Structure 1
Amino acid sequence: MKELFALLRQGNKSAFIAGIVNGIISILKATAFFLTGNVAMFAEMLHSLGDAANQFFVFIGSALSKKAPTARFPNGFGRLVNLVLLGAVLIVGIMSYETVKEGFHHILHPNESKGIIINLTVLGIAVLLEGFVLYKAMKEVLHETHIEASGFAIISKSFGAYKNAKPATKLVFMEDSVATAGGVLAIIAILLANFTPFNQAEGIASVLIGLMMFYVVGRVFLDNAAGALGEADPDIQFKIGNMVMQDPDVRDIEAITVLKEGEDFHVEVEVELDATMTVAQADVVKDRLVKAILEEKGVTDVLVEFDQDDGFTTWKDSKTLKEDDPKV
């Protein structure tokens, strides 16, 4: 139990905060729905309930993925967060289906909207809370992707960088983006249904919210299916390759692989050294490279192998080749 609590302290904080906030919001929306029977509020209730469950799953999965390797699982538990997320999207998928189904029913059989004050109050509070969580997720995205921004630039830059964030942070960002947009959409639909004859507006809003949820399900499933299989990261691969090529004793890179292990990176690199170098000298180079690569954020495991210089250039990024290298 002590180990479990220690692991939970390492869980993704954005997911934990989002789970609590969405849990509170889902209770508020459920109360409003049962008081008014508003179909747009029904869609928002399911949306927030699915998000809360999903984000708690993510928090637990991200925490358990930090568990140290064991004799039975020597490669560690890094990909556990991907497996947990694959299971979590099933919940959102079911919620999405129910949301779309109820929306179509309301479009075909529209009912007069009521309880506008209750609905708008609850949705207004929800949008503010979800907007707060989204803002925190935006800042976390920028932190994880090493991008500096302030003011309104936080919004634009986070949308451009969220795909490179950790799986848990990416999920929170996507879900709360959709949740905030869905809340605004529901408010517009309720206003239209109350002040115009267009009673189908709430049903249309419900369908659109459900479709946005389906989009999140699809993105999360594809991203984490790739992560569970072991996805290469070419951007980090070239960044580390460039760094390795700057070492004065490295003549070339024969091969380099960077695999995502959940939120962490596993690096394998085979470098070419001068054939006259001794084992002791090569060992010094290895220690230097391992230390430098481990300083890269997110890298937790490094394997460095050596081969003698064959006189041919394998590393293709010419910008990283030394000017005095005879192979250029």
Structure 2
Amino acid sequence: MKELLILLRKGSKSARIAAIVNTIIALIKGTAFFVTGNVAMFAETMHSLGDAANQFFVYIGSALSKKSPTKRFPNGFGRLVHLVLLGAVLIVGIMAFETIKEGWSHVLHPTPSKGVLINLAVLFVGVLLESFVLYKAMKEVLHDANVPTNGIGVIVKSFGALSRAKPATKLVFMEDLVATGGGILAIIAIVVSKATSFHQAEGLASIIIGLMMLYVVGKVFLENAAGALGEADSIMEERISQLLMKDPDVKDIVSVTVIKEGEALHAELEVEIDPTLTVAEADDIKDRLSERITKEHGVLDITIQFDEDDGVANWKNPS
């Protein structure tokens, strides 16, 4: 029990906050839907419920992935977060299907919107809360990518740095981006339905929100399927190769492989050095390279192999 509590403290902060906030939002939206029967509010309720459940599992998965290696699992549990995310997106997929189905039913059989003021007030509060969580996720994206910035720069740079974020952070970012956009879309649909006779607007909004949710499902599924298999990090491979070639004792590079292990990176290197060096000198080089490379953001461990210099420079900078 004590170990579990320690692991939970290490779980994704953005996922934990998002799970709590979306649970509150889902309860508020669900109450508004039962009072008014508004289909756009139903879509938003389902969306928030899906996000809350998803982000809760993401938080648990990100925490358990930091469990220390055991005799049975000597490589650790880093990829566990990918497996949890693959399961979690199924929840969002089911919610998306129900949202699209309900929206299509409203398009075929439109009814005037009820409880407009209640729905608009609830959606406005929801958008504010989702925006808060989204901004937190944006800051964590930049933290994961090791990109320092403040103010409006957080919003602008977070999109460019998203590919470097941890799996849990990336999921929270995408879900809350869609949730914020979906809330704004639902507000517009309710206003249009009330101001005009186009009552199908709420149904169309529900379908669009459901399709946005399906996009997140597809995106997260593909990325975490790659992560579960063991995806290479080409950016870090280039970065490490540049560090190696700056070392005076490294004559050439045979190979550089960096594999994403959940939220951490595992590097495997093979370099050529002077064959006349003693074992002690080679060991000093290995220690120096290991210390330098493990300082890189996200690198958890490193394996270095030496080969004798053949006098032919084969390594070319990938850039």
Q: Which TM bucket (shorter chain)?
A: over 0.9
Give the corresponding residue for 1:29: 29
Q: Mean Cα displacement is larger for which, 138-147 or 187-196?
A: 138-147
The aligned residue for residue 266 of structure 2 is 266
Give SS of 1:295's match: coil
Specify the alignment match of 1:325 in structure 2. none
- Residue 57 of structure 1 corresponds to 57
% identical aligned pairs: 66
**Aligned-residue offset at 1:63:** 0.3
Alignment of 1:218-233 (within 5 A): 218-233=218-233
Aligned equivalents of 2:149, 2:187: Cα separation in 1:
31
* CA contact 2:230–2:259 (8 Å) conserved in 1: yes
Report the residue type matching 1:221 in the other structure.
F
Corresponding residue for residue 16 of structure 1: 16
Matches within 5 A, 1:299-314: 299-314=299-314
Whichever residue aligns with residue 310 of structure 2, its letter is D
Match of 2:279 in 1: 279
Measure the CA separation in 1 of the matches of 2:151 and 2:14. Answer: 20
What letter matches 1:30 in structure 2? G
Q: CA deviation at 1:151?
A: 2.5
Residues in 2 aligned to 1:25 and 1:47: alpha-carbon distance in whole angstroms: 10
Output the amino acid matched with 1:15.
Answer: A
- Give, in angstroms, the shift of residue 242 of structure 1: 0.7
Paired amino acid for 1:167: P
User: Does 2:89 correspond to 1:68?
Assistant: no
Superposed, 1:125-140 pairs within 5 Å as 125-140=125-140
Q: Which residue pairs with 1:149 in the alignment?
A: 149
2:47 alignment counterpart? 47
SS, match of residue 307 in structure 2: strand
How far apart in 1 are the matches of 2:280 and 2:98?
65
User: Could you say which residue in structure 2 is the equivalent of 1:322?
Assistant: none
Separation in 1, partners of 2:61, 2:67: 10
CA distance in 2, matches of 1:108, 1:139: 42
Deviation of 1:314 after TM superposition, in Å, equals 2.4
Could you tell me the TM-score, scaled by structure 1's length?
Answer: 0.96
CA distance in 1, matches of 2:318, 2:136: 39
Deviation track 1:245-291 (CA, whole Å, cap 9, x = no partner) reads 11111111111100000000010000100111111100000011111
Is 2:189–2:202's contact at 8 Å kept on the other side of the alignment?
A: yes
How far residue 318 of structure 1 moved from its aligned partner, in angstroms, is 8.5
For each residue in 1:189-228, what CA deviation from the matched residue of structure 2 results, as whole angstroms up to 9, or x when unmatched?
0000111101000000000000000000000000000000
Question: Runs of 4+ in structure 1 displaced over 3 angstroms?
Answer: none
5+ unaligned residues in a row in structure 2: which ranges? none
- Give, in angstroms, the shift of residue 17 of structure 1: 0.2
What do you get for the CA RMSD once the two structures are aligned? 1.0
Asked if structure 1 preserves the Cα contact closer than 8 Å seen for 2:238 and 2:318, the reply is no
Q: Which residue identity does 2:170 align to in structure 1?
A: K
- The total of aligned residue pairs comes to 319
CA distance in 1, matches of 2:234, 2:304: 18
Q: In the alignment, is residue 243 of structure 1 matched against residue 246 of structure 2?
A: no
Cα distance in 2, alignment partners of residues 281 and 149 from structure 1: 42
Counterpart AA for 1:77: F
Deviation at 1:173, TM superposition (A): 0.4
Residues 146 and 297, structure 2, Cα contact 8 Å, conserved in 1: no
Paired with 1:232 and 1:161, the residues of 2 have a C-alpha distance of 17
Q: Could you report, residue by residue, the CA deviation over 1:57-107 in whole angstroms, capped at 9, with x for unpaired residues?
A: 000000000000000000000000000000000000000000001000000
- AA at the equivalent of 2:143: H
Q: CA deviation at 1:142?
A: 1.1
AA aligned to 2:126 is A
- Residue 181 of structure 2: aligned partner: 181
1:210 aligns to what? Answer: 210
Tell me the TM-score normalized by structure 2.
0.98
For structure 1, the 5+ residue unaligned runs are 320-328
